[in-house]
Homo-oligomer: A and B are copies of this chain.
């Protein structure tokens, strides 16, 4: 297998893009990534997207977006793995380059959600859960996460308010990210008083839906090193791993330990030859604050039941020992579902290149990005490394 580098990144602001169609949004990100990489062609394009059929009235995004970006003819598919679709596309691109089937590959994610009503989006997101065994009980996707959070609070005797720190950090970090959906600070008081969505999940536990597109350009390391001109260190993908679990909560081995998070992280660590103690920062999947806690615990950054302690102690802040959601995470930057996994990888690259602006970490050699689909049923973990 060949070493794979990320040589280009491009993203649109995460926002309500009333003025742009899905293909325009996608092209904005792809063309920006190609400019950043200084390439004018690619061998393949893999598009992460979950709901274009249900919400945007368009399937067949691979060929559509390739053509619209001036790449007519190249290999192109859409990849779907619920909220992990973005990182799944990155994984496919990694596979193509690492395996020697393609040299220059674009992996991108796009989702356009705000054109539709909340009810349609809620129904769409529910398709990530088990349609035969969960949805008939009236469970929305938020409600499924609420069951997890309820159980977590009960088992580990954690108060609702303890989760507030995750949201506060996310909003804080989003303040300096021009592409973030929110630029408003959040206090623990406002977190505590925010309206309840599906008890115990409140509005401020929840990441916002949004429109957005993000793209990266990947290539073999030899080509990348010869070609790369962006200044700062170049970025290598040193771990790429996927694990799955059953969709439905009732079938899980242990409700509060996300097996797929654990397996995916373990495989990525093994490939990169590192452990959790070596990771300088973590772009985690804080779709809901409970997912932030479970992701931290499953990846070995905290013992089961202690994820919120890390947040409370300041370890997750930009100046802490494991900064998370450094550009705002899903809560602050926003969660255009099929694009999120690519935003995470891009933000890791920004940190590793030293291009994270006011949020630049002093030490950023090894970053991890973890994208979670469903309530832990598909988990894609990438470890990225700055190299000279």
- A-side interface residues toward B, CB under 8 Å? 1, 21, 23, 44, 50-51, 53-54, 56-64, 66-67, 72-82, 88, 91-92, 95-96, 98-101, 124, 127-132, 135, 242-247, 251, 259-260, 263, 373-374, 377-378
8 Å CB contact of A73 from B59, B127, B259: B259
Q: Specify which chain B residues have a CB less than 8 angstroms from the CB of A79 in the assembled complex.
A: 77-80
Q: Give me the 8 closest cross-chain CB pairs, A-B, nearest first.
A: A99-B99, A59-B127, A75-B242, A63-B244, A58-B131, A63-B377, A60-B82, A67-B246
**Distance A131 CA – B65 CA, assembled complex (angstroms):** 13
Asked if A99 and B95 sit within 8 Å, CB to CB, the answer is: yes
| A135 to B58 Cα, complex, angstroms | 10
Taking CB atoms, residues of chain B closer than 8 Å to A63 are 81, 244-247, 260, 373-374, 377-378
Q: Within 8 Å CB of A77, what residues of B? A: 79-81, 88, 91-92, 242, 378
- A99 contact from B100, B127, B132, B259, Cβ within 8 A: B100
Q: Is the CB of A247 within 8 A of B62?
A: no
With A67-B244, A67-B246, A101-B1: A73-B131 Cβ-Cβ less than 8 Å: no
A91 to B92, CA, bound (A): 11
Partner of A263, one of B58, B59, B73: B73
B244 close to A73 (CB less than 8 A): yes
